[in-house]
Structure 1
Amino acid sequence: MKPWREVAVPHQDVLEGTFQQSEFAADITAVNTGKASREYQDAGAFFDRTFITEGMALLLTQVAQRLAGRGGEPVVQLQTAFGGGKTHTMLAVYHLATRKCALSDLAGIPALVDRAGLMDVPQARVAVLDGTAHAPGQPWKRGSQTVKTLWGEIAWQLGGADAFALVAEADATGTSPGKDVLRELLERHAPCVVLIDELVAYIRQFPESQAISGGSYDSNLSFVQALTEAVKLVPRAIVLASLPESDLEAGSQRGVAALRALEKTFGRVQALWKPVATEEAFEIVRRRLFEPVRDEKAREAVCRAFADAYIAEGVKLPADTQERRYYDRLLHAYPIHPEVFDRLYEDWTTIDGFQRTRGVLKLMAKVIFRLWKDDNKDLLIMPGSLPLHDGSSRNELTYYLPAGWDAVIERDIDGDRAETTALENKEPRFGQVGAARRIARTVFLGSAPSSVASKVAARGLDRAHIILGCLQPGQASSVYADALGRLADRLHYLNASGDKGQDATRFWFDTRANLRREMEDRKRRFDDRTEVRGKIAEVLKKTVGNATSFDGVHVFIPHGDVPDDTALRLIVLPPETWYAREEHRLAFEAVLEIIGKNGAKPRYRSNRLIFLAPDHGAMSRLSDATRVALAWSSIVEDVKEGRLNIDLLQKNQAEKELKSAEDALPRVVRECYKWLLCPMQDAPTDPKPGVEAFALNTTGGSIGSEIERVCADNELVITTWSPIHLRAKLKELYWRNGQSATSAAGFFEDTLRYLYMPRLKSRDVLAQAIRAGAASKDFFGTAYGDTDGKFEGFAFGGGNVVFDDTLLLIEPQAAQAYEDANRAVPTPAAPAVATTTSGVAEAPSTYNPNGATSSPSPVTPVATPAAAKPKTFYGSAEVPPATAKMRLVQIAEEIVSVLTSDPNATVRLVVEISAEFPDGASDGVKRAVSENARSLGLKSADWE
């Protein structure tokens, strides 16, 4: 496919950059006086470059019929928006009436003459009244004749001195000549055409209730009314008058009043003219700016490629691009993309002062001149092609906009120092197609008018129209979509409504820096050591505080504020003590300092602390995300307090951005705080402790549950402990050098202090291991004290164990030996009595000191009655209050449990409590004891 410059060649004046002068030197007065350029002065050249629109064709047909005396409207009012083609249409009428050549030499005119049913159109006299050519209070010269009024000017142009004589008196006195005089004037010089342009600009200059040389306000309105009435009576005369459409074009309040009066006057006899349609503008601009396309196949190939590419993209582009007629629009507009015309005619023409035809022509002429000079190779001239870096092209657009747009274009849209250029230089996939600048130009063209025009329904362009303004065949729309997302986050003057990721979002530029620029400025205000650090701590408390394995979570606090007790604690290190695999000195030193110090004192229970450290690589992102959240929070707060004045749309945007930043911050915190640091020591003989690092998974569940998982998988914190491991640790460190019994409470205290000891979650973990191990003889024996080598409450296998400060854990062999040594001696059996065969018992042989053995005398057996069994047991004991718990347990296990082992026994326990208070019991003690006694159901609980 060929680029546009190889298929459509601009006219010479466009290529030379002289279009502006030739175009704007052309007005109806310049043509009437012979001072216009050739393309406007010569009838043939004019029609060669003129596309006859539907409205112009209808009007020229009316003029031809009227001049031939075959009907047609006598008065036509041309009232359209500023730059709607009125002057160009009047020039067409002027050349049709005053031509110096045959009708066949005027392009497009023979077909209109045929449509009018005529063989020819007679040449006619033309009078041109330009309201800006003369001042109503200053007479002007026509040869030797002084002319003071509009009616004098019409008479002179139609018939010279003879015609002027008809209205000479009225011209001298400044009074309207009347319908009859004007009728005679028109009849004498028919066929004739009166072209009236800028009439409001002339009439509004008359002072209130005061006559001047040009007449008065009322006399001029009377003249217009008389003229319209007179021309109806002359079959071969026609009046064309142009009136502004808007009050703004009419000027002052006086001008608006003149416009209303003229509208009423012309309204009685006028025939309204249809303005130029957008589709017709395609051909107008193409004819005026480009030579005829000679390679039709190349044009069709390009347009077909665009249409096919749009269909392939489907819903990513506007719906009308999926229709066949869009291919026809591409053909008609070639080499300019239809989207350029749509934006200019739908958006820019809503700006008061932007001319529908001349404004577009002037702009596109400058654009084409610059693109041609820059050797632009686009297939079509698209919104994304506009060379806004070029001062001439940019000024043509910013002229109609409020002040401040130059800075926006240079900073955000186009130019060597623009953000878009920097992004393309950084990202080759954007730079290859100029994606960032093309997007920014497209958004500017489609959104800048909304900063000044109130008629724009919805501000900005949606994503589909932005891509339409950039995408060429063979390119991927995803590149432009990605670039748009990057620009929305980066540009200072680009605004977006709604979620930037949604297709319904609209984007627009504004001269006010968007809230993102405000946010970026505020980001730099926050101090790292106070505000940023405080915000991170706040988020960490919410995200890490759910770690149920720990009794306390401490975020960014000095080591003196971390209690030195039995609680298991997670210490979150501050951002400046970061960790990295290749550089861990800062984090490790911080850990070792905290486990060694508790303020000015040494820390004893060092084995109760685990640490969470930030990753060095993620610190900058966390800092930036925190600053973004702080900045949006300050903006929202300032809006609420009235310190920042923004519109409702921006207020909603700020609140939405704040929520997004707050929602993202916990995720960023988790990605940064990903290292669990655990102090450790392999053996008591190690010279100094070390630190081991464990990586946390930053995805999945909560950070608290992830910390618990890593602690459990690596046995950093033990929640369930086997008696096997307890016995092994006791053998390793305690049951040696003749020591066979160890205090359980002392063992637990050592697990709190020494890093080579297991880190138990709580005291209950050890208690459960002791209870499980005490149930058998495989692990240890238990006792509740040792007095003179005798274990109090000794048990070895099967005993119920209470873990208190007196509990001892005894090495299994020592416990077995102690049990064997203290087993109760059995009562000896009665001596056996020998019997003879006669059944007479014999006494045992006795030792005789004389050396002879005396035989026992026979005895007669005697029946001995059996001993009676005891039936009642009563016992009492003094229980020291200090060891009441242990002694009562011993009594229950060693006495009560034995008594109740007989299923026929009835055991009754009575606990008697006696307490004396020499100074009297306090109210608190009395109340607590009475309530507890009542709740426990004591049989009696009396105070005396």
Structure 2
Amino acid sequence: MIFKPWTEIAIPHEDVLKGTFQQAEFAADLSRVHDGSATAEYLDPVLFFQRTFITEGMRLLLDSVLKRLAAKGGDPVIQLQTAFGGGKTHTMLAVYHLARGLAPASELQGVSPILDAAGITELPKARIAVLDGVHQLDLASKPKSHGPVTVRTLWGELAWQLAGEEGYALVQHADESGTAPGKPALEALLHKAAPCVILIDELVRYMSQFEEGKSLSGGTFDSNLSFIQALTEALKGVPSAILLASLPHSEKEAVSKTGIQALRTLEHYFARVQALWKPVGTEEAFEIVRRRLFSSISDKAAMEAVCREFADFYVENAGSFPQETQESRYYERLIQAYPIHPEVFDRLYEDWSSLDNFQRTRGVLKLMAKVIHRLWRDGSKDALLMPGSLPLYDPETRNEAIYYLPQGWDPVLEKDVDGERAETTRLESADTRFGSVHACRRVARTIFLGSAPSTSEQMVRGVAQERILLGAVQPGQAVGTFKDALRRLGDKLHYLNNGNERYWFDTRPNLRREMEDRRRRFNDCEDVFPLIRERLRESFATNLFLVHPFTPSVDIPDDWSLRLVLLTPEAPYSRTGQNLALDKAAETLRYRGEQPRQKQNRLIFLAADFDALSRLKDQVRSCLAWQSIVSDIKEMHLNLDQFQSREATRGLEAARDALKRMIRETYKWLLVPMQEPKAGGGLSELIWETFQVSASSLNWSQEIEKVLAEEALLINNWSPIHLHRYLKDWFWKNGVEEVKALDFWQKSCQYLYLPRLRDDMVYRNTLAAGAASEDFFGFAYGKEEGKYKGFTLGASTSPILDDSLLLIEPSVARAYVDAERAAKAAAQAQSAPLAVGEDRPAAQAPAGSTSVSQPTSTPVAAKAEKRRFYATVNIEPVGAKLAFANIVEEVLQQFTAKPGVKVSISVEIEAESSEAFDDALQRAVKENCNVLKFSSAEFES
């Protein structure tokens, strides 16, 4: 059948035909209409209603407004709140023109039925106040003059607009002081102005200027809220006054923190008195768009014939089209939407309007205006303007479409969808069966319209074959040709994906390519290293160590616990190159942040292998890429078939298994610090024992423990003979006969030349094992006046490890035992009982003496009291900071902890060089010495 194309039936408005439409003209501006500067289509009420389709929601609202103005009921406050571009301001303009009454109702298209339904014979003329938060932004800080009156606040502006000077006088004091007027004053104003309409647009935008604690000439945040609250209450008492206020639909549109607070508060105030407003429905949008873009339908019979032909075609090919096309009402949808196919509206309103910056009705108008202009200029012969008709080869249309999409769609359209260099054009040129009906391009355009706006709200991605055919095929064309074209595109196009019999374009060519592309997104510090750290943390199951993966030195406690520090990948270990691992480990060992670390013998380090590190990072990126793909599949960001989903899942599992192996193969160097005594005295420099941990062992933690135990770098069981040797070599010397047991344990945690015990329980067990022998040490719990308290030697016991427990050198302990025994025997002999009549023998006197000898006692030599201490020590310049810290802790604190002890410290520094010190060094040293208050500091020849 030959039917007329839409270009011969539907005539677009002149601005659409000529391409002179402007984006701003699609946005109704209430203030410009009020001040008379808007375009004629908004300013002239007759033209406005000619291009305005009165939706069900608008009809109900206008009915309420008319009843209110006629004092026949109606709602005092109506809040308009829909998504951005949802028609709030357009609805306000309808109310504005009705209330203003400049044109009779008979000339306003669609208004007379509303008046009849409301029982009103003629339009009541009302006073109107327009408060536009954007237009009047500067009112908050800059007073506005109206002849003899200067207003400063919204309530001052409202009063002036409603009742001039008389109205302003009612709120003058509140306006001048910036305080909200009370309900009585506003009620008096409304009575004076009634019937009246108050239109408030962009109120949240105006309120967002009043930051907390900030007072402007327009009042404060709280005073403006109080004004709105009082106004909504006052309106209830004036039967012929009404307020319409628009609020943003979401916090995102409110923009600022103050704006969000204002939105939530205003919603609360309006909720108490508001009437609900029904937003525009999808079916109603058909007529809204048609009226704005098309001026008239020149041949309604031809229009109906075209729509009937489409409806019959869908029924004849029922198996190829969606079920909805088989219903009789689909013909009505075709009539309502003509000359635009309903599928275009469905895709734009259901899919594209879900994009953040696509403004529902306004966005549809902008896009379709460009489409219509280009197709009209090209002389389109399509029966309807369908998804397959979109001229995506046109730069302006293409730019308008991809403006709402993420980056990367330009090459998709240019290579796969439309244009001279597109694959679709090449396929049509090579096959006349496709080229005669533009099958490839029409199919590709339809898929693009239905799949491009991929968002998190979409549960299923892609376009089913039946909807692709619905958007591409016209009556009289072979459906099979378009099915073949779809299959050909599936084989040839680079960016076309398919799964579960659905098709979609994506900026990503395929799943494997997607993984490779995503690998490049991940950053070492932000993505790769955190995952390595997490996997390392999960790999250790041990009660032996406290594990610190990639922890800064300042966050590693300096205490008695044994800690395994896992160095970052930025500090790998290399047997041949620069050893960043040893440098980093040494820094962590010496310092906790900026403070010297005391318990150095409690740290052990694990480092990555330099040669294996790059492979590990690559594997981590692969794992992250597969993880992001699988996550997108689960969250429906990617719509894949079961095979592709399983492929992605298998890829992730394989990547994780490989990552687990790679981490074990990479983090294999155990670094253990130690020092050794020198033959002539003193200690060696810091020594690092390095051991390779086997990656094949089943338990990583146990393997590390095994290596440490085999190399005697961590002691789990210790013989008392070894403790005796360390006590003898390092503690029982220079006249020291006993040492605090706790002191040895603490120093073993500090100094690298002492044994590294697993924990204090190993030490306690060693003490208990040596208690039964007289060869290792004696015990006591303190000493007073030469007497040991709780002394034991060679007795099985489990000593309590506290600050009072002493370990006594064995020979001293035995001598003490002998002395105690002798003293006890003497005391027993002295106190033995006498027989009856027997006198205690007197001491034998010298011959010839007649005096009775008295018992005498052996004089005890007086113990010298030591009241002064002094010491001198030489410190190596390298490591002086740590050495001096040890001196302070081990020596000075012994004196400063006792009350009444005066301690003085002198530091003597001598530096000598074979070459003269330069001026810069001399100046820096002298300045620092002055700051540090040195008593003397000089350079000499």
The TM tier, using the shorter chain, reads: 0.5 to 0.7
1:415 deviates by 1.5
Which residue identity does 1:317 align to in structure 2?
F
Q: State the partner residue of 1:111.
A: 113
1:121 deviates by 1.8
Contact 1:639 1:645 in 2 (8 A): no
1:14 deviates by 1.0
Q: State the partner residue of 2:502.
A: 506
Q: State the partner residue of 1:400.
A: 404
**Structure 2 CA distance for partners of 1:643 and 1:123, relative to 1, 3 Å:** closer
1:265 deviates by 0.5
1:478 deviates by 1.5
Q: State the partner residue of 2:67.
A: 65
**What are the superposed Cα offsets for residues 239-291 of structure 1, whole Å, 9 maximum, x if unpaired?**
00111112211213332221111111000000010011111111111111112
Contact 1:492 1:517 in 2 (8 A): no
Residue 348 (structure 1) aligned with residue 352 (structure 2): yes
SS of match in other structure, 2:397: helix
For the residues of structure 1 that align with 2:44 and 2:80, how far apart are their CA atoms? 23
Which residue identity does 2:97 align to in structure 1?
H
Contact 2:303 2:338 in 1 (8 A): yes
Contact 1:515 1:654 in 2 (8 A): no
Residue 269 (structure 1) aligned with residue 262 (structure 2): no
For the residues of structure 1 that align with 2:66 and 2:262, how far apart are their CA atoms? 31
**What are the superposed Cα offsets for residues 756-814 of structure 1, whole Å, 9 maximum, x if unpaired?**
xxxxxxxxxxxxxxxxxxxxxxxxxxxxxxxxxxxxxxxxxxxxxxxxxxxxxxxxxxx
Q: State the partner residue of 1:92.
A: 94
SS of match in other structure, 1:94: helix
**What are the superposed Cα offsets for residues 436-477 of structure 1, whole Å, 9 maximum, x if unpaired?**
111121111111222xx3222211211111111101001112
Residue 317 (structure 1) aligned with residue 321 (structure 2): yes
Q: State the partner residue of 1:187.
A: 191
**Structure 2 CA distance for partners of 1:374 and 1:209, relative to 1, 3 Å:** same
Structure 1 residues 475-490: aligned runs within 5 Å: 475-490=477-492
Q: State the partner residue of 1:618.
A: none
Residue 647 (structure 1) aligned with residue 641 (structure 2): no
Structure 1 residues 142-541: aligned runs within 5 Å: 142-450=146-454, 453-498=455-500, 505-515=501-511
For the residues of structure 2 that align with 1:392 and 1:97, how far apart are their CA atoms? 40
Contact 1:25 1:37 in 2 (8 A): no
SS of match in other structure, 1:127: strand
**What are the superposed Cα offsets for residues 113-143 of structure 1, whole Å, 9 maximum, x if unpaired?**
0000111121111111111112223333334
**Structure 2 CA distance for partners of 1:187 and 1:419, relative to 1, 3 Å:** same
For the residues of structure 1 that align with 2:160 and 2:194, how far apart are their CA atoms? 14
**Structure 2 CA distance for partners of 1:232 and 1:651, relative to 1, 3 Å:** closer
Structure 1 residues 566-581: aligned runs within 5 Å: none
Structure showing greater Rg: 1
Contact 1:493 1:517 in 2 (8 A): no
Structure 2: stretches of 5+ with no match in the other structure: 518-617, 649-941
For the residues of structure 2 that align with 1:651 and 1:218, how far apart are their CA atoms? 49
For the residues of structure 2 that align with 1:300 and 1:339, how far apart are their CA atoms? 18
Which residue identity does 1:233 align to in structure 2?
G
For the residues of structure 2 that align with 1:376 and 1:488, how far apart are their CA atoms? 27
**Structure 2 CA distance for partners of 1:519 and 1:28, relative to 1, 3 Å:** closer
Contact 2:200 2:246 in 1 (8 A): yes
For the residues of structure 2 that align with 1:307 and 1:241, how far apart are their CA atoms? 43
SS of match in other structure, 1:212: coil
For the residues of structure 2 that align with 1:454 and 1:641, how far apart are their CA atoms? 23
For the residues of structure 2 that align with 1:467 and 1:435, how far apart are their CA atoms? 10
Contact 1:44 1:107 in 2 (8 A): yes
**Structure 2 CA distance for partners of 1:659 and 1:70, relative to 1, 3 Å:** closer
More displaced, 258-267 or 144-153? Answer: 144-153
**Structure 2 CA distance for partners of 1:643 and 1:206, relative to 1, 3 Å:** closer
**Structure 2 CA distance for partners of 1:253 and 1:443, relative to 1, 3 Å:** farther
Which residue identity does 1:507 align to in structure 2?
Y
Contact 1:22 1:37 in 2 (8 A): no
For the residues of structure 2 that align with 1:413 and 1:342, how far apart are their CA atoms? 21
For the residues of structure 1 that align with 2:643 and 2:620, how far apart are their CA atoms? 12
**Structure 2 CA distance for partners of 1:484 and 1:519, relative to 1, 3 Å:** farther
Contact 1:82 1:352 in 2 (8 A): no
Contact 1:492 1:516 in 2 (8 A): no
Contact 2:495 2:505 in 1 (8 A): yes
Structure 1: stretches of 5+ with no match in the other structure: 499-504, 522-635, 661-944
Contact 1:78 1:86 in 2 (8 A): yes
C-alpha RMSD of the superposition: 2.6
Which residue identity does 2:259 align to in structure 1?
G
Residue 123 (structure 1) aligned with residue 125 (structure 2): yes
For the residues of structure 1 that align with 2:490 and 2:516, how far apart are their CA atoms? 13
SS of match in other structure, 1:469: helix
SS of match in other structure, 2:11: coil
More displaced, 234-243 or 432-441? Answer: 432-441
Which residue identity does 2:69 align to in structure 1?
L
SS of match in other structure, 1:449: coil
More displaced, 63-72 or 18-27? Answer: 18-27
Identity %: 60
Q: State the partner residue of 2:81.
A: 79
SS of match in other structure, 1:496: strand
May I ask how many residue pairs the two structures share in their alignment? Answer: 539
For the residues of structure 2 that align with 1:492 and 1:139, how far apart are their CA atoms? 62
SS of match in other structure, 2:407: coil
For the residues of structure 2 that align with 1:379 and 1:517, how far apart are their CA atoms? 40
**Structure 2 CA distance for partners of 1:260 and 1:238, relative to 1, 3 Å:** same
SS of match in other structure, 2:247: strand
Q: State the partner residue of 1:728.
A: none
**Structure 2 CA distance for partners of 1:171 and 1:319, relative to 1, 3 Å:** same
**Structure 2 CA distance for partners of 1:168 and 1:518, relative to 1, 3 Å:** closer
1:645 deviates by 6.6
**Structure 2 CA distance for partners of 1:14 and 1:318, relative to 1, 3 Å:** same
Q: State the partner residue of 1:697.
A: none
Q: State the partner residue of 1:34.
A: 36
For the residues of structure 1 that align with 2:112 and 2:53, how far apart are their CA atoms? 14
1:637 deviates by 11
1:507 deviates by 1.6
SS of match in other structure, 2:81: strand
For the residues of structure 2 that align with 1:12 and 1:233, how far apart are their CA atoms? 48
**Structure 2 CA distance for partners of 1:652 and 1:434, relative to 1, 3 Å:** closer
**What are the superposed Cα offsets for residues 630-671 of structure 1, whole Å, 9 maximum, x if unpaired?**
xxxxxx9999766767612479769659999xxxxxxxxxxx
For the residues of structure 2 that align with 1:303 and 1:489, how far apart are their CA atoms? 34
SS of match in other structure, 1:118: coil
**What are the superposed Cα offsets for residues 393-417 of structure 1, whole Å, 9 maximum, x if unpaired?**
2222222222222232222212111
TM-score (norm 1): 0.55
For the residues of structure 1 that align with 2:369 and 2:97, how far apart are their CA atoms? 25
1:357 deviates by 1.7
1:182 deviates by 0.9
Which residue identity does 2:629 align to in structure 1?
D
